[in-house]
Amino acid sequence: MKKIFRNRIKPLVIMQLLCLIPILILCLFIFKDGNVNFFYNGIFQLIFAAFWLLTGIENIMMKKRGYSFMSVALCIIFIYLATQSFQLANIK
């Protein structure tokens, strides 16, 4: 457990770990059968975007610029993918 918190901002790490719990639960709903449920997929991507946003904020605070830009870019990509998934969920 000390390896997770070493050289990191503890409240942000705890929030990241709390984001991982719903991600794991949603994986059970998404990959349960062969059908694709775009609503759960969109929720999964939004939570994953929040995870990357928290990572980007942490990297900005730790002054790791390269990692922070990459994390925020991944956050934006996952938000875009989530909106596409929600649009596909409304089509059905």
Distance in angstroms (rounded) separating the CA atoms of residues 49 and 10: 19
| Total number of domains constituting the chain | 1
Query: Is the Cα dihedral 33, 38, 49, 15 positive or negative?
Result: negative
Q: Answer yes or no: is pLDDT of 67 > 70.
A: yes
State which residues form the domain around 41.
2-91
Q: Per residue in 8-30, pLDDT tens?
A: 888 888 898 898 898 888 888 77
Whether the full predicted model's pTM is greater than 0.75, yes or no, is: yes
Local structure of 62: helix, strand or coil: coil
Q: What is the pLDDT of residue 92?
A: 57
Q: Is the CB of residue 30 less than 8 Å from the CB of residue 41?
A: yes
